[in-house]
Amino acid sequence: MVDPVGPVFLRYLLAACYRRNRYSRLFSAATVHDLHGMRAQTPGSQPVVIFVVVNQCAVFKRPITLPPDHFWVVYYVAGKRSEWMAQNSATTRFKSRWHSCRRIIMNTVTERKGIAVVGTKAKGGIHAVIENHIQAGVYDDYDLYLIASHDDGGMIKRFYTYFAALASLLSLLFRGKVSVCHLHGSHKGSIYRKALFIFVCRLFKCKVIFHLHGSVFARTYDSAGGFYRGLVKYVLNGADSVFVLSQYWANYVGSIAPDADIRIINNFPSPVFEGLFHERRFSANAVTKLLFLGYIGQRKGIYDLVDAVAILKAQGVTGFTITVGGNGEIEQLKTLIKERDLCAYFDVIGWVTGEQKYRLMNESDVLLLPSHNEGLPIAILEAMSAGLAVISTTVGGIPEAIPNDQTGLLIEPGDQQALASAIARYIANAGLVEQAARCARQRYDASYSSAANLQTIRSVLRGLVNLKLSAVL
């Protein structure tokens, strides 16, 4: 029997935890010696988690019988303001400032810690990344709370969504449900929203991950005034860890916030999605099928693509079709295609997901994404997973994923003539398309698959959760 001897507060705390079923059964067979060993093996001088093992509830004035083959564990957090010592294998004593530790003790007796993921309901890359993380099992070890702080729609709807999200997070923090808040953000309004979320999290000593997706983040920051720049620095320095999508973005963010904990976390498609293409046959179609996936607007270069196709038509290049999938300026694009008499080359189908996206990629040869600004587009990673050659631009993290003339062809953003030449080169050389497709799949498996990136994300989450548990109020 293990007999924890401690102050009256501990007795009533354990009794309350038992009555509310707020304990966590962590060990089916353990000894105090083993637990002491765990304590001794804790590296460094950081605050550590100490285990109070209770069997037969010996601390109670009137003992309550529990199953004798289990140890029931309550966490006690030890830090600079507390002292831990063991007199022998049967007695563990604590000398501490209990009033400063009550909240942490009560929060840590739950079975699992929670993680709040704050993102957007709007269709696009950020929403896809969050869904992919969930499907890949990033948060499987924690209670997950999804909070949408942004949505498409008018000003009133967006304000309502934001303040409802803030209220949801406050409720979770007040109830001690969340240890880590994973914030997905980009630029402009997203920075303002996330700054308030970070401020609230700091008040509750909740750990924060800021996951930067902003394709025009650098351009916005460089052209902004002092207030916005100060807010960006507050967000980057206020987060316990900053996730970026490539070395390019790591260098840029590091120039703004040198002391920030910056981690390169590659985007990756859904594991379900990437698994569909393992048996893909790498061979080009008789008519080269090109695919555009992304927001239909100037930033993604869709109008440059229309100009490039007009150039190809004038040169007499044939034998290709382009399918356009995405949301945004759909009707404006259709009107422009009709005015330029290019309907024979384009098929604009709107937003695509799931089975339809899988079918399109399986039937296509080349992904087109002539973007003007990017982080690291999920569409390119999906194309690499599917074994497609890629034509894109030298912006953001794209050159790191798509080395020019290996897994695809890269051009300068806005260069319609170069885009037309790249398309014509792939149309004329099916062998080059097949070679790039194979290289893309191999590069994806090595560096951009869910398996290649899951461990990094999980280790950061575990580290932040452990820091939260070991903090002293």
Write out pLDDT tens, residues 19-33: 333 333 332 333 333
Q: Write out the DSSP string of 64-119.
A: ----TT-EEEEEEEE-TTEEEEEEETTEEEEEE-GGGTHHHHHHHTSSS-EEEEEE
CATH architecture of the domain with range 114-268+454-467: 3-Layer(aba) Sandwich (3.40)
d(CA 233, CA 146): 26
3-state secondary structure of 430: helix
- Residue bearing tokens 């899951």: 454
Q: What is the pLDDT of residue 270?
A: 75
Residue 279 C-alpha from the chain's centroid: 28
Query: In whole angstroms, what is the distance from residue 401 CA to residue 442 CA?
Result: 11
> What was the pLDDT predicted at 82?
33
Distance CA 326, CA 347 (A): 12
For residue 44 the two structure tokens come to 């460094």
What's the token pair of residue 312?
Answer: 């190809």
CA distance readout (Å), 233 to 198, 259, 293, 390? 12, 10, 33, 35
Q: Which stretches of the chain score pLDDT less than 50?
A: 1-112, 469-473
On the question of a common fold for 114-268+454-467 and 271-448, the answer reads: yes
128-162: pLDDT as tens digits: 889 888 888 889 888 899 999 998 888 899 999 99
Angle at the Cα of 152 (from 346 to 337), degrees rounded to 5? 15
Token couple for 310: 């007009």
The H or E element containing residue 48 is strand 48-54
Write down the residue that tokens 């992304």 correspond to: 294
Which amino acid would we find at residue 453? N
List of residues 6+ apart from 375 with CB closer than 8 A:
125, 212, 213, 214, 215, 217, 245, 246, 249, 267, 396, 397
What pLDDT does 80 receive?
Answer: 30
Q: The whole model's pTM is what?
A: 0.68
What burial class does residue 289 get, using C-beta atoms within 10 Å of its C-beta: 0-12 exposed, 13-18 middle, 19+ buried? middle
**Residue 467 has what pLDDT?**
62
What does the longest C-alpha to C-alpha distance in the chain come to? 93
- The fold adopted by the segment(s) 271-448 is Rossmann fold (3.40.50)
Element (H, E) at 292: strand 288-293
Please choose, from the candidates 157, 220, 211, the residue with its C-alpha nearest in 3D space to the C-alpha of residue 189.
Answer: 220
For residue 190, give every residue at least 6 positions away whose Cβ sits within 8 Å of its Cβ, in sequence order, or none. 150, 214
| Residue ranges per structural domain of the chain | 8-108, 114-268+454-467, 271-448
Which residue's entry shows tokens 């599917």?
A: 386
51 phi/psi in degrees, rounded to 5 = -100, 130
pLDDT of residue 136: 84
Separation CA 178–CA 206 (nearest Å):
7
Whether residue 72 contacts residue 66, with contact meaning beta carbons closer than 8 Å, is answered with yes
**Cβ–Cβ < 8 Å for 383, 367:** yes
408 forms beta bridges with 390, 404
Angstrom distance (rounded) from CA 85 to CA 74: 17
Closest to 419 (Cα-Cα) out of 309, 265, 317 = 309
